[in-house]
Structure formats: C-alpha cells, structure tokens
Chains A and B, each alone.
Chain A
Amino acid sequence: MKLFSVEKPGVYTTYQDLGRTGYLKYGVPASGALDRFALQVGNILVGNPWNTAGLEITMQGPELVAEVDAVISITGADLSPMINGERIQMWKSLTIKKGQVLEFGRPRIGVRAYLTVDGGFEAEEYMGSKSVYEPAGLGRKLEAGDELHGNPKKQKTGIGLFHTEIPAYDRDAIVRVVKGPHDDKLSPEVLEQFFTNRHEVSPQSNRMGYRLVSDGIKTDHEGDILSDAVPLGGIQLPANGEPIILLADRQTTGGYVRIGTVIGPDLPLIAQLPPGGSVRFKEITVEEAQEIAIAQERDFRVWEKIVR
C-alpha cells in the first residue's frame, strides 16, 4: 500500500534498521541507524518490532505527502517536524491523515531524526537488512518522486515517552569509554590528554565515523597495528593525534591503534553532535558498561509492554 509520496527528499534520507548481522566477517559494514535508541523507541511507539526499518533523516528533512491515514512517530533530533505547517510533538505516536504533508523546518538540536510508521516500510532487503549502504550498492537515499510503501495495521496513537525519558541531546557530549585494546602502545601523557581534553567535531564526520580535532595530543606511537576488526564505537588514534570514533558504516577492519570503545548506549549522543560540537571521554569498566546496556534493554522491554 502506498503510504507517502516524496515531494522533496531532504539532504540525506535513508532507510535504516538495526543493521545487517553476520556479514562483518565478509567485509560488509553493519550499517543501521546511528541513533539506535531513537529508532528503537520510535518503533516501540508505533507498535513495531524494534528492528523495523525507519527513515533516518539528516539535518534537512524531506517533504512527504500522506497517501493514506497512518500512525507515525518522529524521534531523535528536533528538526522542527510539522504536519500541514503545524509543529507536531516528538517521541509520541500520532496519526497523519491522507493528503496531509509532513515536513521539517529549522534543525533545533541534534542531527538525525527518525520517522517510523505503524507496520514499517516495504523496501529492498539486502543480506537480511533494509539499511542503505550506498558505497556497496545496497539501496540508495530518498529521491523526489519516490513512493514509500508499507502495511499499516491501525495501531493506537497518543503513546509517548515521559519528559524525563527523552534523551537530552547537546552540542557538548560526555561519553563513557571502555579502554583498549591498544592503550598499552600509548604514553601516559597521551592517555591523560585524551581523557581530559575537549575534542571538537570536524565537518568531515559522517555515518562512517566522527573525526575529532584535539589540541595538543602529541602522539609518539607507531600509528599502525596488524589489521583487526573495528567495533562499533571504536576510537582510532592515528599518528596525527586526531581521534576518529567509528560508527555504523565503518569499514569492518582497520590498522590504526585504538585507544578505547565508546559504549553503545552513549553512541546516540555522538550521532547527534553537529560539526563544531564537542565531546569528552570518561573511562568506565566493562562491568559498568554492561550494567548500563542491560538497564537500557530493560527500559525498552517495559515500554513495549506498556504499548501493547
């Protein structure tokens, strides 16, 4: 069933679910939503399985005309979503009526918003995922004139997160890191600077990774290691002293020293940082990191029960 017609595609709008699993060993990036929290909550709010593909909307949103009545939600960055020119509430399920126009205005806070729809979107699936990864020809970004299809199941509306449960995105983020595996190749001074400096987000940041500019990290290590798998959130430190946080579209393997890994639950804070924003790193143990991830998973399950 036709759900939306695309009047304007926005600057970079792609289908993303939680990514493809099982193909990293073949060199295929996982891809998937950069802000996994926002996508998963968006899906829960419209009654979908958490892993359902939504539209990841970057900075300048699309203009979509509804072809049927559909239950949707907008989560993630506040890019001023509107229906027929009226601001709509985010992090809440609501109905868009046939003929109404969903559009976005000025980006207020954050970079990436997610549009989820009851029943999900129909889209080409590659290796078990609808996540678009253009460099390998796995789908493409939205274009004007596209038709978006789906199968709405008439979900109830008005379900939302409590104010306190909505993430507070900021231009300045503090994220938690589990150190390693190559921190033993770095001097105590470099580690100290890494964990105390405020690092600025470079404009050369994208779905592959966030590049950071950092005053005064004077590296003296050999930049290269024997290539190994690079995890989601891994922080490379090339010899130029400018850290790179690796995200969903990262290459699967790499040969740079990695100082640590940003924990999964904090990656949305990175994904929502605009160029010129900043990030600080705080070290925690793997046990603490797992407690945080488990608590978040528990929240999802509780919210899902409330919706159903």
Chain B
Amino acid sequence: MNVTLHPLGEACVKITYHEEVSHSLTSRIQAFCRELASLNKEGITEWVPAYDSVTVYYEPWVLNYDEITDILEDITAVATEASEKKVVITVPTLYGGEHGPDLEDLAKEKGMSQDDIIKLHTNEDYLINMIGFLPGFPYLSGLNERIAAPRLESPRQKVPAGSVGIAEAQTGVYPIESPGGWNIIGQTPLRLFQPEKDDPFLLNQGDYLRFQPVSKKEFNQILEQLEQGSYEVQREEVSR
C-alpha cells in the first residue's frame, strides 16, 4: 500500500493514501481510525479522517515524530481490509415547497418533473467520505450526475438546519442554520448536531445515508416524536 506521512507542525501528522477515492478506501480509513481508537495510546489526542488521508493530533512531549510515525505506519499495515458490512442511516426528507425552495427551478432547469429529481436523489445510498466544514456536516459521494447543479448565484443569508441541498456533484444536509449557496431541495426534521446531548452527532465517517421522501404530515409527526423523545432513527447494518 502506498502511504506517506508528513508532519503538520510539531503536534500533528498527516497520513496520505496515494490512490483514487473509493468506497474501499473510505472503509479502510475507517478501519485505521478504529484501530487507532482501540490502541488508546497515551499522547495521541485525536484524529480526523478525510477523503484520502487521516490527520492525527498528538503531544510531542509524550511521543516524538519518529515514535508517532512508527505507531501509525504499523496501523496502516494492519488496517488493510475494507469492512464487509455497512451502516445505513435513513434520513426522512420533505422535498419541495417552502422546505425545498429550489426544487422547482432545478426541475425546470433539468427538464424533469420534481418527482423525477426526488426519485434520482433518493435512489442512491450515499457514502459519508468525511465530516467537516460545519459541526456534523457530511461530505457525501454518489450523487447522480443528472441532478448535479452549480451553486446559487447569490447565496442565502440563512439556510435552516436540516436543509438538504445540491452543489455541483455533491449533496449534503445543513446541520445548523448557516449562510449557504447550495440549491435547497428539501428538509429533514432530524438534527445532525445537538450540542446539548451526550452523543451530539447523527452521522459518522464511513456510514451511508439514505434519503427517504416523506409527506408534510409525516414530517410534522416526526418533529413531534423527536420533541417527545419517542422517535427512533432508522440505522441498519447490511452487507455490501
């Protein structure tokens, strides 16, 4: 396996995998992070998986650069197997209308019906390559190129939390209200980031995300259940 390590200052090291981004690579990076977590090594404080890299933060007064690179190289040699199972999280989404104000224009632009767009958008299980940009924001791959669309010419000042959007060849969900230029085609009642909870995050790197269209009535029901704490997020483990 072709892997290189590079120091980022005195307390951080980047491991780069020199290969194309793929489901297999994301799964191996996930395996690397699992190994690193189970090692529970003093001096290693945290790590961030990305498309073709993992960045590891450490304390130089506990581990010097030679020591940390030895440890990490050993792990890359062990974590070579992609997992046979995948976790799929279902994200109920209300498409169009006030919850997806750009769906109508996008459909016109593409010469399709709104239902066609929804069908293409919900057809795929999207791989979460990494999490970043905003707390809990998933970088998803797998968008059907027929519904790829450039960013809005003038970004919105406020995109509500839960908004589902498309920008270029990517689709994503806004975890918190933020300014944004994505084409908003729907909204999920689920919260991807809840800082007050013990486990504030809905999604993990390496998991898959499935959008499921819901009606306005179902959307409101889920909101109500979420408030009462009775909603169970659909999270299933399936074979690849």
Contacts of A181 in B (CB 8 A): 6, 8, 14, 16
Q: Do A261 and B9 contact each other (CB < 8 Å), given the known contacts A27-B136, A290-B60, A293-B60?
A: yes
Contacts of B139 in A (CB 8 A): 227
Contacts of B190 in A (CB 8 A): none
Contacts of A136 in B (CB 8 A): 134-135, 176, 193, 195
In-complex Cβ contact of A251 among B8, B133, B176, B195 (8 A) = B133
Which chain A residue shows the least CB distance to B203? Answer: A26
Which of B8, B51, B53, B64: most chain A Cβ within 10 A? B8
- The CA of A8 and the CA of B217, in the complex, are separated in Å by 48
> Which residues in window 36-56 of B have CB below 8 A to A?
45-53, 55
Contacts of B196 in A (CB 8 A): 126
- The CA of A138 and the CA of B46, in the complex, are separated in Å by 20
B201 & A178 in contact (Cβ 8 Å cutoff): no
Q: Do A228 and B195 contact each other (CB < 8 Å), given the known contacts A24-B46, A27-B135, A178-B7?
A: no
Kindly supply a per-residue 1/0 record for chain B positions 3-28, scoring 1 wherever the CB is within 8 Å of any chain A CB and 0 otherwise: 00011111110101000010000000
Which chain B residue shows the least CB distance to A180? Answer: B6
- The CA of A261 and the CA of B14, in the complex, are separated in Å by 12
Cβ of A243 < 8 Å from any Cβ of B? no
Which chain A residue shows the least CB distance to B33? Answer: A25
A25 & B131 in contact (Cβ 8 Å cutoff): yes
Q: Do A26 and B9 contact each other (CB < 8 Å), given the known contacts A226-B21, A226-B50?
A: no
A253 & B46 in contact (Cβ 8 Å cutoff): no
> Which residues in window 175-232 of B have CB below 8 A to A?
175-176, 178, 193, 195-196, 200-201, 205
Which chain A residue shows the least CB distance to B132? Answer: A253
- The CA of A26 and the CA of B133, in the complex, are separated in Å by 9
Q: Interface size for chain B: under 10, 10 to 19, 20 to 34, or 35 or more residues?
A: 35 or more
B49 & A294 in contact (Cβ 8 Å cutoff): no
- The CA of A263 and the CA of B193, in the complex, are separated in Å by 31
Contacts of B45 in A (CB 8 A): 21-22
Majority SS of interface residues in chain A? mixed
Q: Do A293 and B65 contact each other (CB < 8 Å), given the known contacts A136-B176, A226-B50?
A: no
Contacts of B50 in A (CB 8 A): 226-229, 253
Contacts of A293 in B (CB 8 A): 10-11, 60-61
Kindly supply a per-residue 1/0 record for chain A positions 255-283, scoring 1 wherever the CB is within 8 Å of any chain B CB and 0 otherwise: 00010011111000000000000000000
Kindly supply a per-residue 1/0 record for chain A positions 163-190, scoring 1 wherever the CB is within 8 Å of any chain B CB and 0 otherwise: 0000000000000001011000000000
> Which residues in window 108-139 of B have CB below 8 A to A?
130-137, 139
B61 & A229 in contact (Cβ 8 Å cutoff): no
Separation in Å of the B14 CB from the closest CB of chain A? 5
- The CA of A181 and the CA of B14, in the complex, are separated in Å by 8
Contacts of A265 in B (CB 8 A): 10
A263 & B9 in contact (Cβ 8 Å cutoff): yes
Can you list 17 pairs linking A and B with CB atoms under 8 Å apart? A21-B45, A26-B131, A27-B131, A27-B133, A178-B10, A181-B16, A227-B139, A253-B48, A261-B8, A264-B11, A286-B9, A286-B65, A290-B64, A292-B10, A294-B60, A297-B61, A298-B61
Given contacts A261-B7, A289-B10, A290-B64, 6 further A-B contacts (CB under 8 A): A21-B46, A25-B205, A27-B175, A231-B11, A253-B130, A294-B61
Closest 9 CB pairs of A and B: A253-B132, A261-B9, A229-B48, A229-B55, A289-B10, A286-B7, A290-B60, A231-B12, A181-B6
Interface residues of B (CB under 8 A from A): 6-12, 14, 16, 21, 33, 45-53, 55, 57, 60-61, 64-65, 130-137, 139, 175-176, 178, 193, 195-196, 200-201, 205
Interface residues of A (CB under 8 A from B): 21-28, 126-127, 135-138, 178, 180-181, 226-229, 231-234, 251-253, 258, 261-265, 286-287, 289-290, 292-294, 297-298
